[in-house]
Amino acid sequence: MYNHHQDDIFNSMQSPEFYPHPVRRIEQRDTHISKVFLTGDYVYKIKKPVNLGFLDFTTLEKRRHFCWQEVVLNRRLTKNVYLDMVAITFHKGQYVLSGPGEAVEYAVKMRQLPEQCSMLRLIRDGRLSYDAVDSLARFLSQFYAMASTTERINHFGSWETVQANCEENFHQTAAFVGHILDDQKYQIIRAATRAFLRRHKWLFTHRIEQNKIRDCHGDLRAGHIYFKDGIQILDCIEFNDRFRYSDITADLSFLAMDLDFEGHWKIADQFIEAYVRYTRDKDVLVLLDFYKCYRAFVRVKVNCFQLQENNLKAINKDKLLKETRRYLSLAYRYAVQFARPTLWVVCGMPASGKSTIAKELGRTLDIGVVESDAVRKALFRIKPHISVDVPFETGIYSRAGSSLTYGKLLIAAQEVLEKGDSIILAATFSRKHQRQEALRLARDMDVNIFFIQCVASDEVLKERLKLREHKSSLSDARLHHFDEFKRRFEPLTEVPEDIHVRINTEKPLEDSMETILSHEHFMLSKMLSNSADASSM
C-alpha cells in the first residue's frame, strides 16, 4: 500500500495541470496549521497533520471533519466564497483533485477574493470609507443577533470561565517575565485584570441574561474582512468551539485591538460607535477595553510560545520579539485605562435631570453616586425628603452652606478614589470655582474626570420645577428660584471640551447613556493613541 505524504501532494499542487480549471498563477501561503494554494479564481486550503493541544488534525478523518466544519461555519459570514470540501485522490500513480480513486486528503475550496478589496489593504491605501465601516458594524450586528446561543455556549461567557482563561494566560506566560516580557507591565496587566473581574462580576452574569454570549467568529481581524459583493468575513475558528463561543464584545474587541495595533484607533472607534448605535448595547463600551487587553495578551502568549521554537531564524525571531513587546505595551495601556478610576461630575441647572442621569450611569457602571442635596441635608441634620423652601442663597443654601456641602462632596469623592474606585458626583456645580476644585482633585489624584452637563429648554425646566410643588423631592429648588439660578449659572468655559459632554435630557435616557459612554470611550482611546505615539518617538 502506498504511503502518502502531504509533501508529495503539495508538489503536485504546484503544477497548473493538477487543477480541473484554467490556472493563471499559483501562489502558496503557509501557516503553522495549514497550506494554502491560490490559483487565480479559486483557493485550496489543506490542514496540516498537527496536534497543538487546542487543535488536532493528526488523522485524515479529523482533517475531513474540520474541513467541512470550516465550510459550514464560514458560510455564515460569506456569500458564494466557501464553495465546498473537495477530496484529493490517488489514481493510477498520481494525485487527482476531485477524481476517481481513494481519498487521501481533503481541501477547502474557496472563491479567491482580490486582495485590494480586503479591509487591511483599503486601510493601508487610505481608501476605507466611513460608509464601509458603518456597513460592517450593521452587518455584524445582524450576524450576532442570529448567531446561536445555548446554555453550553453561555458557559464560555461566564465570569468563572473568563476568570479561568485570564489566569491561564498569566500562568502560561509567567516563565517569560523578565527576559521577553517587562515585569512591571506584566504585573499591572494582571492586577488590573483581576480588579476588573472582581468589581464587575455582576456584569458577566448580566451579559448571559441578555443573551450576549454567542457562537461568534473567534478570529475577527482586518485581514479577514473583504468588501467584495457586499461584505465577506473569512477564516472563523472551526477547530475549537471554546475559541469561538464568547461574549459578542470579546469578538468585536479582536478587530478593535487589531486596528489599534496597526495605528488606526479612529477607525476602531468609528466601528464600535456604529455597532453600539445599531444594537443599543452600551455594555460593549464598559467591557471593550477589558476584552481588548485580553485579546492583546493572548497575542503576547502565542508569540512567546513561537519564540521558543528552535527553527526560528534570527531575523524572524527579532521581528517577532518586537511585535510581542508591542502587544504587551498595548495590553498595558488598555489595563491602565480600565483600571484608572474616574471622577464623574454630573452637573446642570435644577430640574435638568442630573439625578436621573447620575443614577442610570451608576447602575450601568456599577459605581456609587453622591448627590449634593443628600449631603447638604445630612450636614444640617434635615431628613432627606423634608422640603426647605427658603429665599435664594439663604439658610442651608447660603454661600457658607454651599461651601460646606461642596467641600464634603469632594472629600467623599476623594475617599472613594483613594480606594481605586470610580465615583459620580451629582450637583449643580454652577460656579466656576466649584468645578475647578473638582478638576484639581482629579489632577492631584491622577484620575480621569468627565463633566456631564445636563441641559433642557427653559420651558421644560420650569414645567419640571412646577411639578415638584405637588410632590416630595430631595431637591428644594422650586419654580420661583429659576431666574436667579439661570442668572448665576456660570458657563463651563474652564472645562476642556474633550472631558465635557452636554446631554439634552429631553431625549430618551438610553440615548443619553449611549452618548456619555461613547464620548468617554472616544476620549480614552484618543489618550491611549497619544500615549502610544509618544512612546514610539
As given in the structure block, the three cell numbers for residue 527 are 489618550
| Residue 478, pLDDT above cutoff 80 | no
Q: Where do the domains of the chain lie?
A: 6-112, 119-339, 342-526
As given in the structure block, the three cell numbers for residue 338 are 480600565
DSSP structural state of residue 32: S
DSSP structural state of residue 499: G
CA 464 to chain centre: 38
What does the pLDDT read at residue 207? 98
Q: How many CA atoms lie within 13 A of 129 on its CB side?
A: 5
| Residue 263, pLDDT above cutoff 80 | yes
Query: Average pLDDT of 71-96?
Result: 95
Query: Average pLDDT of 261-280?
Result: 95
CB 252 within 8 A of CB 490: no
| Residue 294, pLDDT above cutoff 70 | yes
What does the pLDDT read at residue 537? 37
- Cα–Cα distance measured from residue 341 to residue 322, given in angstroms and rounded to the nearest whole number: 31
What does the pLDDT read at residue 526? 74
Of residues 87 and 420, which shows the higher confidence score? 87
Strand 245-247 to 213-215 pairing = antiparallel
Query: Average pLDDT of 126-133?
Result: 96
pLDDT grade for 515, boundaries at 50, 70 and 90: very high
Least Cα distance to 222 among 193, 263, 186 occurs for: 263
Least Cα distance to 150 among 202, 214, 236, 216 occurs for: 214
Least Cα distance to 9 among 1, 18, 22 occurs for: 18
Residues whose CB falls within 8 Å of the CB of residue 354, separated by 6 or more in sequence, listed in order: 346, 347, 348, 426, 427, 428, 454
Instruction: Please give the torsion angle defined by the CA atoms of residues 137, 139, 140 and 142, in that order, rounded to the nearest 10 degrees.
Output: 120
Percent of the chain with pLDDT over 70: 94
What does the pLDDT read at residue 1? 38
| Residue 165, pLDDT above cutoff 50 | yes
- Cα–Cα distance measured from residue 532 to residue 537, given in angstroms and rounded to the nearest whole number: 9
CB 256 within 8 A of CB 292: yes
Angle, CA 289 vertex, CA 534 and CA 73 arms, to 5°: 120
Per-residue pLDDT of 308-341, as tens digits, reads 877 778 888 999 999 999 999 999 999 998 999 9
Per-residue pLDDT of 1-20, as tens digits, reads 345 689 999 999 999 999 99
CATH code assigned to 342-526: 3.40.50.300
Query: What's domain 119-339's architecture?
Result: Alpha-Beta Complex (3.90)
As given in the structure block, the three cell numbers for residue 252 are 468585536
Of 18-27, 59-68, 472-481, minimum mean pLDDT range:
472-481
pLDDT grade for 111, boundaries at 50, 70 and 90: very high
- Identity at 187, one-letter amino acid code: Q
What does the pLDDT read at residue 2? 47
- Identity at 472, one-letter amino acid code: S
Query: Average pLDDT of 464-468?
Result: 86
What does the pLDDT read at residue 284? 96
Least Cα distance to 410 among 383, 378, 370 occurs for: 370
pLDDT grade for 528, boundaries at 50, 70 and 90: low
What does the pLDDT read at residue 474? 66
C-alpha distances in Å from residue 510, one per residue of 123, 167, 225: 32, 35, 31
CB 285 within 8 A of CB 520: yes
Query: Average pLDDT of 91-97?
Result: 90
Least Cα distance to 277 among 163, 138, 69, 402 occurs for: 138
Of 104-108, 386-390, 420-424, minimum mean pLDDT range:
386-390
CB 475 within 8 A of CB 396: no
Domain 6-112 indexed as CATH 3.30.2450: no
For the chain, give the mean pLDDT: 92
CA 287 to chain centre: 6
Per-residue pLDDT of 206-262, as tens digits, reads 999 999 999 999 999 999 999 999 999 999 999 999 999 999 999 999 999 999 999
For 111, list phi and psi in degrees, rounded to 5. -75, 130
| Residue 124, pLDDT above cutoff 70 | yes
Number of C-beta neighbours around residue 332 at 10 A: 22
Residues whose CB falls within 8 Å of the CB of residue 208, separated by 6 or more in sequence, listed in order: 154, 157, 158
